[in-house]
Structures are given as structure tokens and as C-alpha cells.
Amino acid sequence: MADPTTTPARPDAEVPDYVPATVEAKWQARWDARRANSPDLARGEKPFYQLMMFPYPSAEGLHIGNLYAFTGNDIHGRFQRLRGHTVFEPIGYDAFGIHSENYALKVGVHPSELIPRNIANFRRQLHRAGLMVDWSRELSTTDRSYYKWTQWIFLQLYHRGLAYKKRAAVNWCPSCKTVLANEQVEGGVCERCKTPVEQRQLEQWFFRITDYAPRLLKNLEKMDWSETTRTAQRNWIGASEGARVTFRVSDDGDRTDDISVFTTRPDTIFGATYLVLAPEHPLVDAITRPEQRAEVQAYRERAARQDLITRKTSKEKTGAFTGATAINPATGAAIPIWIADYVLMEYGTGAIMAVPGHDERDFDFAREFGLPIVRVVASEGVDPGAPLEAADVETTAARVVNSGEFDGMPVARAKERIVAWLASSGAAESVTTYRLHDWCISRQRYWGPPIPIIYCESCGTVPVPEKDLPVELPYVEDVRPDDSGISPLARHEEWYHVACPQCGKRARRETDVSDTFLDSAWYFLRYPSADREDVAFDAALTRKWLPVNSYIGGNEHAVLHLLYARFVTMVLHDAGLVHFEEPFTRFRAHGLIIREGAKMSKSKGNVVNPDEYIERWGADAFRTYLMFLGPYEEGGDFRDAGIIGVKRFLDKLWSSTHAATAQPASGSPDVDVMRKLHQTIRKVGEDIPRLSYNTAVAAMMEYMNVLRRGERTPHVDEVRPLVQMVAPFAPHIAEELWEKLGGRGSVLDGGWPAFDPALATEDEVALAVQVNGKLRGTIRVSKTITQDEAFALAMQEPNIAKFVTGTPKKVIFVAGRLLNIVV
């Protein structure tokens, strides 16, 4: 049986077999021995920080998606190295978090045992892939020396007033007796036991990311990031321009509670026929009339029992009347105040003015409860008195009606005028509201960095002093969360009880750990200083290497991770700790690898194990194939069939190089081959920075076809540049062949092949000749031919001339491209 990993020598040449496994093992060992991928960060010239999103080390091992991402990143990094940069390509593991903990619970192995095992496996797989990573600065977020500084970051935010504690709702499974993340709730029930999930209020730590919303939004404008990612962030931050309007509660006596609502449609205020508060709104108790109290209380309890998902997916309108009314500041009318779960406490002010005539949700609610519906906006030609069958949502042509002195005004102008009018009596102000919420970083779990806070009976909340960091994660045998909703850390008595750092009296530790997203929000700062014990990140190295030059990662992190990393960086910038506001100068999202048209998943049984492929085809062929199968930023379909083509290409590179070196280097390279070579150098050199890897590979294949045309043996000068260009994609074979060609050191030190535009130009071109826009032939002409000359030449071709009857009406000439004769 033939072994696909070896290539028999061509009958006419003495060529050793190409055995990828041997070549790859040899060069991986050499790179390690020479510490080839560990640059001198302090002294290296032209620094280039090539960052990839670090993986979560799952038990299943390296996923094809990881490898796809890392290879694309590695190619870009190796290319920068060829271009003369000192390239830093670090690696780490995002190993804390619920994901890891749940898996550990499932298989019954303590996470502190399981995670190092997974990391070792990842390390082995990454190593075999031939990535140019600096192994000397590898880190894991679970390292004591790492999470010490994660806690330090928390303290920086705490000291700047950006970390605070408040009660907030979490999903609670009454059967599993545990807090669930939103992803663990499926259709309102616990994903494991199918019990309906409830809400529970818990004290949790938050970061004030909303304070930074305007800046996070504004900086997006000028950043060199994938457009899709910037749009996703913009939508996530979700700025809405509108007004805050105050409604006075009309009570029978001296109650003066005001209700503040947010609206993007102040122009419709004359149509606000009732108010709605979220069931959790703090004013509900105060305004509810005694006769409505029972009903309101029942509704609130019902809403509290509901899980967040169900509440947000059900469109049915429910609610309860509080018995109170408020004064519409525009009309002076008393309008009823309701509570309903379609109003969310987390957004705006947790209260709305309902305009059923022009909002679908308000319309549905008004219909359900028989509340008045008024038209206050009408398009041209619509009778202002016409009844509304459904909410009539604004059109740009619409004007305001039934709105007193504002009647007839276009909607856009009415917005401004009405706000200004209400503002004069203090009833309204223009505001921008964001849908972004403060970042809840508390996790009532075990596997994470303990939040460095101590609670003292006399001193209150006390941050752990820096000198006492890290607050070590103690070993707890049973890490399962219990029915208290409190982290398992609380059960570790010795750890839990602590002396107050301020007064020395009895105190207790915060038992929540922080969100994994905090670990990953600053890891890029740590990498260059990964070996430093005394600082989170060294000032000089940070100034030299950051911000990150090129960041590549998946779009699944387009929002949370990238936003949190930007936020933390901005805070550190404001604290004077880093010199830049934005951490990633350039970000590109890679696409997703699918298989047979479907996303890879264990349940579908279409998961590709990289180990098998690397074993069978070699890392070089596998890497190159991954890059060849589609546009990097769009992903592609992984089919086993295609890899053979890439393997053949590498086989040919191998045999051509050996054939070339077997000959004495007499004679000179072929002119046509050299022209194609220089065109290829230009093309590949343009494609790699654009991450257009598939077309770069195609261009090199094209050159290979030209190189091997005919019976001739290629010249070393025709082969050497190709070996250099291949190096980012297939680094092992490139090193081997570079050595064979007599190159010194690493192929990466040989630089990018010199491009000579003069050698790349053709002096003859094939000019397309069209008649009335239809192609009728091509003529070979000098590049500098004029329109008249081209026309004359074209007319000599019978196959073209026969379509041209009489004098042409018009002739269009695009130099070097085409001639279009219009008759």
C-alpha cells in the first residue's frame, strides 16, 4: 500500500523522499534548542506584537477552529518577521471559569488536577502545529503569579470608584440549588434537571463600564478593526438619543413622588395615556393605593418567580393597576400608573410613558386593559381624527397632530421643540441612554480568582492590601455549589475567617470569585512581563510593545471580551498606568470552519481531530490547506478531499528544490519564469497583510506550474524566493529547503524576497476586443499601444471585423485591458 506521506523520486532525478514527520520533528527540535521564537523583548528592533485570542483548554483538546485561528495568526507573524520585525507571538490559557469547573464536576476530577492535564495536552498539540510562539512566556490565568495581578486589577478599579456592590437578579435552579448562567437556562428551565428557573436577588460586584460607554463608542470610529466587529460593539453599547421626562404623581394629598421616564419619542407625549413601571421599580410600594395593594403584590411576586429568559421571550402583555395616577406634563391630564413586566428595570429609568397610538407594545397593552389610544402623529393626507387599528409607527414624512401648539410640525422638529418647552418648566431634559449594563463580575463559584475584599464589622468593606496579594484560591475538596447560593469558598473556615487588615479584628472574606472575562481582559498586558514577580506589567516593556499591533480572533468574542479588554485598558490609562487608551491597534475576526455545510459538533459527529491530520499529512500541509480552503475572514468548508492538492504542491517544491541544487548553478534563470516570479512576490506580499491567504497560496501554486513547465530543471534563483514565500505557511519544509539551498540560519532571517517591478512587467498584453460589449476576440499588442493603433489592428482580425458594419458610433479604449467598438 502506498504511503501518502512520502513521494517517490521522479525517475530522472536523485531526490530523497519527503517525509514530513521527520522534517517537522527536526526543525521543531532546532527551534526549541535555539530558542528561536523567544525574542529579546528589551533589545529587539522594530517590535511587532502578534496576538491571538488564547484558548480555553478543554478536555477534548485543540479544536480545529483554534488551529485555524492560530495558523492564520502565525502566518501573519512569520511574514512580519521576514519583513525584518522582531515578532512576539505569545500563548496562554484561559483556564479559569464555570466552563472548566462544570466539566471537572461532570467527570469527578478536581479542577486543579484536570486543568494542568488539559494544558499539557494543548501544549503538545500547539507545538506540533509548528507555531512561532514564545514558549518561555507561556501563561495560564490560573497561575498564582497571574491571578495575583487579576486581583490587583480589581483593586485598581475599586480604588477609582469603578467597582461597587449591589443586589441583582440571578437565575436560580431550586432543584439543583445553584445559580445558573444565562446560557444554562434553556427555554425557562434548567438545562440539566428541567426544573423551571427562578430569579433570586443576590449582592454582587459590578464594574461601572457604563461610565465609559460614550468613550467606548466614540473610539470605535477611528479604529482599524473588522467592520462587522465594530458594528457589533456599537449595537451592544446601543446609544439611544431621547429625553428624560418627569411625571408628577397626582395623589390625594402631599405625596410628591415624581416618576422619571425615558423616551426616544418626546414628540408623542400628547399621546401618553398611561405610565408603566417595571414590577421591581422602587416607587411601586409608595404609590400603590391600599385597595390595589393585594393585586400589585401578587403580580410582583409572580414576576419575581419568573426566570429572566421567559420574561424576555413571551410577548403576552400582563400587568396590574396601582390605583395611582400621574399628571402628563404636556396635557395636564391625570393618567393611570400601571406595572407590567414588559418594562425592564435595567433599561432607561425602569419606567415608561405609554403611547399606545404609536408603539406596538403599548398598543397591545392598551387593548388588553382597555386604556385610551390617541393619535398624535399622522402622515400626509391622514385624518388626525381617524381611529387606529394598530400602532402607527412614525414615518419620516409624518407630522405631529392633536398636540396643541405643536400641530403640523414635522416629527424631527417636534422632538426638539417639545423637549425645550418641557425643559423650561424642569419637566424634561435631553439624555442619551445606553443598553450596555454595568459588568457583573461576581460568580458564586469556586474556580476563579477570589475577589480581594474583606468585610469587617467595624471598618466595613476593606480592600485587601496589595502586599497581601494574591488572595490564594484555597483547595476545597468538594467544589459543588450548595443551596445557599453562596460560593463553596465560604465552607473553608480557615480561609473564610480573617483578621481585618485595618483594625485587626475578626473579619470575613468575600467568597465570590471574579468572572473569567476579567482574566482575559488584561492578559495581553501580562505576556511581555510574564516572568516578572514584582509588577503586573513592566513599564518599559509595555511602552515598547504595546498596544498590540495585530490581534486575530473569533467573532464570538466580538462583543464581550473585546469590550471588556478595551474598558480595562481605558481605566488603566486614566490611572496613568498605560500610555494608550485602546489595546488593539488592528483587529481582524477570522471566519468559522464548517464541515459538509454544518458547524462542527460532537453530536453531529463531524468534528475533525487535528492530530490525525497532522500525523497523516504533516503540519505543513495541514496548515497550508487550512489557509487555502477559503477566505480567512469568512472561514470555509473543511473537506478531506482538498488536502491532497496542497500536499502535491509541497511535494513539487521539495523535488524542484532538490533538482535545482543537484545541478551546478551555471546559466541564468529563465526570463519568463522570472517575470512570473516577481509578479508572485508582489501578489503574495500584498495578500498576506490583507489576510487573503487562500489567494496567496493559489499564486504560489500558479508560479509552481510555470516553474515546472517543460522539461527544464529549475534554477536555484527561481526556487529560493519561493521557499522564502512559502515559509509563513509551511515553515518546516521551508527551513529544510533553505538549508539545502545553502541559506544561513533560519529562512526567516533571509528576509522577504526582493521585488523588482521592472522584472514583473509584461511588455505585451492580450487586449480584449468587444463589439457592443460582447467579446469577439483578443489581440496581442504592445502595452503602450494607442487607441487608434489598437483599433486598426483589431479590424485586421476577420472574426472581429465581421461584426463591425459601417463606421463605429463610439470606441472605448481601456489601456492594457480592452477595446470596445460600439456600432
Partner RNA sequence: GCGAGCGUGGCGGAACUGGUAGACGCGCCAGCCUUAGGAGCUGGUGAGGCAACUCGUCCGGGUUCGAGUCCCGGCGCUCGCACCA
**Least distance from RNA to the Cβ atom of residue 648, Å:** 5
Give buried/exposed letters for 741-758 (b at 16+ CB in 10 A, else e).
Answer: bebeebbbebebbebeee
**Least distance from RNA to the Cβ atom of residue 353, Å:** 7
624 contacts 704 by C-beta, under 8 angstroms: no
CA geometry: angle 587, 590, 591, nearest 5 deg: 150
**Least distance from RNA to the Cβ atom of residue 398, Å:** 16
> Cα dihedral angle (253, 257, 258, 260), rounded to 10 degrees?
-150
Q: Which is nearer to RNA, 462 or 698 (CB)?
A: 698
Strands (E), 91-225: 92-93, 139-140, 163-173, 178-180, 185-186, 189-190, 198-207, 224-225
Q: Which is nearer to RNA, 29 or 775 (CB)?
A: 775
Helix (H) or strand (E) holding 615: helix 610-617
**Least distance from RNA to the Cβ atom of residue 312, Å:** 3
**Least distance from RNA to the Cβ atom of residue 812, Å:** 4
Q: Which is nearer to RNA, 159 or 639 (CB)?
A: 639
Instruction: State how far the Cα of 526 lies from the Cα of 279, in Å rounded to an integer.
Output: 44
SS3 state at 187: coil
Q: Which is nearer to RNA, 81 or 676 (CB)?
A: 676
What separation in angstroms does the CA of 136 have from each of 35, 90, 529?
8, 9, 11
CA 727 to centroid of chain Cα atoms: 28
SS3 content of the chain, % helix, strand, coil (to 5): 40, 20, 40
Q: Which is nearer to RNA, 218 or 315 (CB)?
A: 315
Q: Which is nearer to RNA, 662 or 766 (CB)?
A: 766
Q: Which is nearer to RNA, 694 or 746 (CB)?
A: 694
> In the 8-state DSSP scheme, what is residue 441?
-
**Least distance from RNA to the Cβ atom of residue 771, Å:** 9
- Cβ-Cβ contacts under 8 Å for 772 (sequence gap 6 or more): 803, 820, 821, 822, 823
Q: Which is nearer to RNA, 189 or 577 (CB)?
A: 189
Instruction: State how far the Cα of 135 lies from the Cα of 56, in Å rounded to an integer.
Output: 17
**Least distance from RNA to the Cβ atom of residue 503, Å:** 43
256 contacts 248 by C-beta, under 8 angstroms: yes
What are the strands of the beta sheet with 506-509, ordered from one edge? 460-463, 453-456, 506-509, 497-499
Instruction: State how far the Cα of 581 lies from the Cα of 473, in Å rounded to an integer.
Output: 31
Give the residue from 666, 685, 695, 650 showing the smallest Cα distance to 756.
Answer: 685
Q: Which is nearer to RNA, 387 or 773 (CB)?
A: 773
**Least distance from RNA to the Cβ atom of residue 446, Å:** 26
**Least distance from RNA to the Cβ atom of residue 296, Å:** 17
102 contacts 447 by C-beta, under 8 angstroms: no
Instruction: State how far the Cα of 611 lies from the Cα of 390, in Å rounded to an integer.
Output: 60
Q: Which is nearer to RNA, 94 or 280 (CB)?
A: 280
SS3 state at 463: strand
SS3 state at 222: coil
**Least distance from RNA to the Cβ atom of residue 751, Å:** 25
Furthest-apart CA atoms within the chain: distance in Å: 107
Q: Which is nearer to RNA, 344 or 459 (CB)?
A: 344
**Least distance from RNA to the Cβ atom of residue 676, Å:** 11
Task: Tell me how crowded residue 348 is: count the other CB atoms within 10 A of its CB.
Answer: 22
**Least distance from RNA to the Cβ atom of residue 488, Å:** 28
Q: Which is nearer to RNA, 229 or 511 (CB)?
A: 229
